[in-house]
Amino acid sequence: MDEKLTLFGGVKFLRKYFNKHKRNFILFYIGWFVDNALTVIAPIIFSIMIDQIVYYNNLNVFLRVSLVFALMSLFSCINYFLIYTFHHYLMSMYIFDIRMDLFNKIQTMNAVSMSRAKTGDLISTLLYDTEECMHFIIRNIFHSFNALLKGAFYITYIFIISIIAGFTVVLFLPLVVYITYRFGKRIRSFSDNQREIYGGYASWLFEILRGLTDIRLLSAEKNVRRKFIGFQRKLFQVDIKTKLANLTSNQIIEGVSLLLQLAVFGICAYLAFLGEITIGNVIVLMTFTFALKDQCIAYIVRNIMEAQTRLTRIARIKRFMSMEDESSWKGKNELTVSRGDIQFQQVHFAYDPRKPVLKGLNLSIPGGRHVAIAGKSGCGKTTIASLLIGLYERHAGSITIDGQDIASCNLKSIRQNVGVVQQDILIFDATIRENLLIGNPKASEEEMWDACRKAGILTFIEELPDQLDTWIGNRGIGLSGGQKQRIAIARIYLKNPSVIVFDEATSALDRETEERIHDAWRELLRGRTAIVIAHRLSSVMLCDHCVLIEDGVVKEEGHPEQLLETSEPFKKLFAVNEVATGNVH
């Protein structure tokens, strides 16, 4: 559940973004203040004009006051245009700043936070919740404050014109405040609930849309549909409750305001009948009472209700912003790799403290050696790679590359020196060139072609009409699993790290494609240290050393061919794996 944020908490959180555009926010506020002042003054000027012409036939003063009125209207129009220039500018910049911060946060989130965050939540927060921050500042703070000021002006002028009307207005106000407070609390709780359900629903939907094929293959459409209906039902119920509470409070306040209006209209009629007020005064009183009801009371009430919803959204942004990120990584030194010796010494690690994954792992990989890491699922193979590139921090022990503890090195230098090729290759909706340059934006044209040649994708690219400028991804041409692997290998060539980790990179490819990819690997691995996290024997056999992990420690190690002859667990593991993946010869 999100942290409950108060109005002041929301303002405090958003203040740093406000401060960045303080000058324009102040100008924007001054503009609104002037606009509101003109709104208050206009009926008074109008009443003077009427009294002058109706009672005293004073055309001279009437025309002069009319000139002031016309000028004020023109002034108001230009002012309004300028205010909205500020509004749109601030809206764009303010949202941009928050989105940028949030995006940076998402990008630097540590692996633990990343695994906890729901994708749907992140998307809806980044796209929709950020907009609400600006609405909160402008509508809930600026406009509400202005509406309060305007209300105070209206009441003062109503008192000036008629004390009885003033007292009538003041008597109704506590009632409105009480109703607003009562319903505001209820709406906030419904709104929190709604956001919580919606967040879960969006994440679930995101996963479902990604796995549509799997759902069909598992014939799970019925279950998914049932869950979809369940979510819709929950959302519908909470939506009805929120809207009902909103509607009820609005209608009650509308009723109270109507009573207030009727009372003031009655007083106006009575005073006009007695001759104590003029037609102009009646117009001002009626206009002010109507404006007080519409522009102040109803407006503030609506804003308070909306503020409750917005605060929930701001609390979500705040929660994301406070998630742990990689800035907690203490290492500052630059990692420089020459030979590529890797040492794991007494490394302990657990995702869940009750279930340790690595229990004092010792592993020594001399520079230039290609080591396969094998073991059953969940034995900690991928964890070893994750610790090596600093996705997680080990709980005890040390991991060194060329004698430098990676905990003392900065993440950027670690990731520059350790390249990773995974099974799922990230291909952007962009050109091949852009997809290649992501590893090294400074790579030259020549280096790119060379990397493509070494990765074995040169012929494919050369045959494309736009070659490196061909659009790939969802909106471009589709790539096969093997081609994606080759793109990933080309990226590694451009990045040129001393250490490479292959994390089950070819486990989804067919045997023929895998063999061709392995040829590209052999070329890539020359002169580099490599860790191959392998599910297939063929990947293990590429290496000159193999480590069998079991229960968080190294169970056996040696040359793959030697292990294949002597190690029962090794033979058993690959017999099982090869059967499972259909790769038995």
Partner 1 sequence: MNLYQKNALGRKYIRLVTGSPFIYLSFLACMLALFLFLTISTKVDLIKTYQAKLVNVNETPVLAVDSTDFPVGKAFLYTNKNKNVYPVHIQKAEPYQDGTLLHLDGNQGEDILQSVDSQNLYLDVPQGEATLLYFILVKGGKGGG
Nearer Cβ to partner 1, position 52 or 303? Answer: 52
Tell the residue number behind the tokens 């990989």, with chain if given.
Answer: 365
Total binding residues toward partner 1, as defined by CB under 8 A: 46
**Interface with partner 1 includes 404 (CB under 8 A)?**
no
Cα–Cα distance, 585 to 578 (Å, whole number): 9
Inter-CA distances, 156 with 151, 177, 242, 322, 333, Å: 9, 19, 36, 46, 67
Residue from 403, 414, 399 nearest 334 by CA: 414
Three-class secondary structure of residue 371 per DSSP: strand
Q: Are 379 and 395 in contact (CB under 8 A)?
A: no
Which residues sit opposite 153 in a β-bridge? none
Phi, psi dihedral angles at 226 (to 5 degrees)? -60, -40
Residue 400 interacts with partner 1 (CB under 8 A): yes or no: no
Per CB under 8 A, the segment of 278-286, 323-331, 391-399, 422-430 that binds partner 1 is 278-286
Instruction: Round to whole Å and give the CA distance between 14 and 94.
Output: 10
Q: Does 341 bind partner 1 (CB under 8 A)?
A: no
| Residue 44 C-beta: closest distance to partner 1, Å | 4
Q: Decide if 432 contacts 487 (C-beta within 8 A).
A: yes
DSSP states of 283-320: HHHHHHHHHIIIIIIHHHHHHHHHHHHHHHHHHHHHHH
Helices within 393-478 (DSSP H only): 411-417, 432-437, 445-455, 458-463
**Applying CB under 8 A, which of residues 5, 14, 48, 292 lies at the interface with partner 1?**
48
Q: How far is the CB of 338 from partner 1 (least distance, A)?
A: 40
Q: Does 36 contact partner 1 by CB under 8 A? A: no
State yes or no: residue 149 binds partner 1 (CB under 8 A). no
Residue 41 binds partner 1, judged by CB under 8 A: yes
Which of the ranges 27-35, 326-334, 417-425, 444-452 carries the binding residues for partner 1, by CB under 8 A? Answer: 27-35
What is the distance between the alpha carbons of residues 406 and 414, in angstroms, rounded to a whole number?
7
Q: Which one among 23, 330, 354, 355 touches partner 1, defined by CB under 8 A?
A: 23
Name the region of 456 (left: φ>0; alpha: ψ -120 to 50; beta: rest).
left
Cα 551 from chain centroid? 37
Beta-carbon count within 10 A of 395 CB: 14
Compute φ and ψ for 23, nearest 5 degrees: -60, -50
- The stretch near partner 1 (CB under 8 A) out of 133-141, 155-163, 194-202, 453-461 is 155-163
Q: Does 92 bind partner 1 (CB under 8 A)?
A: yes
In the shown chain, the binding pattern of residues 244 to 273 toward partner 1, with x for contact by CB under 8 A and - for none, equals: ----------------------------x-
Candidate list 7, 72, 114, 252; residue touching partner 1; CB under 8 A: 72
Q: Which of 96, 103, 128, 167 binds partner 1 (CB under 8 A)?
A: 96
Nearest approach, Cβ of 28 to partner 1 (angstroms)?
Answer: 9
Helix (H) or strand (E) holding 198: helix 163-210
Shorter beta-carbon distance to partner 1: residue 94 or 521 = 94
Chain residues 50-69 in contact with partner 1, contact rule CB under 8 A: 51-52, 55-58, 61, 64-65, 67-68
For 51, the token pair is 């009294």
281 binds partner 1 (CB under 8 A): yes
User: Which CB, 66 or 108, lies closer to partner 1?
Assistant: 66
Binding site for partner 1 (CB under 8 A): 23-24, 27, 30-31, 34, 41, 43-45, 47-48, 51-52, 55-58, 61, 64-65, 67-68, 71-72, 75, 78-79, 82, 85-86, 89, 92-93, 96, 157, 160-161, 272, 275, 277-281, 284
